[in-house]
């Protein structure tokens, strides 16, 4: 796919992985709708993209809240008339709570953003893609969605791992369901990524962590270099 003038919606784009993805895709000619909960941070991303020759607009979106994704989708369609690609990146992590002490509130906090929010955003965008009989969805999962990394149940990643296993399963299901409509669904499963979120949770993280720009490279590859028939696949990055 040539990304020139394509419209791409990126969730969780105000920092970290989402910001890097947005910058990379804008540099490849796409019009990027950056979304997230912090409008001030989104404005900075939009400014950086536009000042370097790209095209971007920011939209406030908490993916965990009903109808927000539908409203943002409508706003994007009103402005640009199409959404060619959806990047589901928004996510949260919880650390230092043993899995057996996880509260319902903690469980819901992680699941509502990482899995339910992805579901709500897909539901908002997919009908438009089906009408056009084309589209590409890329879901940002995690290595924790393939192999649980909650050593002895102490790291607090139980809900996170469960949510990312769900992302992998939902991606596979979407890929099979949407393939007849010309919509590809793929994903990226990174290991530990050096972002503000992970640094805040794990200050002693390793210097060998993946850089957000490497995730952006993988997303760019999925959108531009993979065969048309490739769907339901994940790129693993460690």
Domain span at 211:
7-237
72 in any annotated domain: yes
Rg (CA), the chain: 17
Round to whole Å and give the CA distance between 103 and 228: 43
Residues in CB range of 226: below 8 A, 6 or more apart: 186, 233
46: which 2 tokens?
């939009």
Spatial CA neighbour of 120 closest among 128, 109, 112: 112
Which secondary-structure segment (H or E) carries 186?
A: strand 183-190
Whether residue 97 lies inside any domain: the answer is yes
2 domain residue, yes or no: no
Q: Which of 109, 160, 170, 228 is catalytic?
A: 160
What integer pLDDT is reported at residue 200 of this predicted model? Answer: 55
Two structure tokens written together for 184: 């590809």
Q: Please give the pLDDT value at position 99.
A: 83
| Tokens matching residue 35 | 């979304």
What distance lies between CA 195 and its chain's CA centroid?
Answer: 14
Task: Please list the helix, strand and coil fractions of the chain in percent, rounded to the nearest 5, in that order.
Answer: 50, 15, 35
DSSP run (H or E) holding 15: none
pTM: 0.92
Return the exposure string of 205-235: e unless at least 16 CB atoms fall within 10 Å of the residue's CB, then b: eeeebbebebbbbbbbebbeebeeeebbebb
pLDDT at 147: 73
- Residue 225: inside a domain, yes or no? yes
Residue 155 has a pLDDT of 54
Do the domain assignments include residue 1? Answer: no
So what's the pLDDT on residue 143? 80
Measure the CA–CA gap between 106 and 82, rounded to whole angstroms. 36
Residue 102 lies in a domain: yes
Sheet strands side by side (includes 85-88):
55-60, 31-36, 7-10, 85-88, 135-140, 183-190, 234-237
Residue the block writes with tokens 């590409």: 136
Which CATH number characterizes residue 110's domain? 3.40.50.720
Give CA–CA dist 101/45, Å, rounded.
Answer: 37
Q: Is 160 a catalytic residue?
A: yes
Domain count, the chain: 1
For the chain, 238 residues long, the average pLDDT of each consecutive 10-residue run is 98 96 98 98 98 98 98 99 99 80 92 98 99 98 74 65 94 98 96 63 61 94 92 92
Number of H helices, E strands in the chain: 8, 7
> How far is C-alpha 50 from the chain's CA centre?
21
């Amino acid at each position: 796919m040539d990304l020139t003038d394509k419209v791409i919606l990126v969730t969780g784009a105000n920092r970290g992985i989402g910001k890097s993805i947005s910058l990379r895709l804008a540099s490849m000619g796409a019009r990027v709708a950056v979304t997230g909960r912090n409008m001030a941070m989104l404005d900075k991303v939009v400014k950086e993209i536009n000042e370097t020759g790209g095209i971007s607009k920011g939209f406030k979106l908490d993916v965990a809240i009903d109808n927000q994704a539908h409203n943002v989708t409508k706003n994007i369609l009103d402005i640009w008339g199409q959404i060619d690609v959806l990047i589901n990146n928004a996510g949260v992590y919880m650390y230092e709570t043993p899995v057996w002490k996880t509260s319902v509130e903690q469980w819901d906090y992680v699941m509502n953003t990482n899995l339910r929010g992805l579901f709500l955003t897909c539901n908002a965008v997919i009908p438009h893609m089906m009408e056009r009989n084309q589209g590409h969805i890329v879901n940002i999962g995690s290595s924790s969605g393939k192999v649980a990394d909650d050593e002895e149940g102490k790291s607090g990643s139980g809900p996170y791992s469960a949510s990312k296993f769900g992302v992998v399963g939902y991606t596979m299901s979407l890929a099979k369901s949407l393939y007849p409509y010309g919509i590809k669904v793929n994903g990226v499963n990174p290991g530990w990524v050096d972002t503000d979120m992970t640094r805040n949770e794990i200050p002693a993280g390793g210097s060998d962590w993946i850089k957000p720009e490497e995730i952006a490279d993988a997303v760019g590859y999925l959108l531009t270099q993979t065969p048309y028939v490739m769907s339901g696949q994940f790129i693993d990055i460690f």
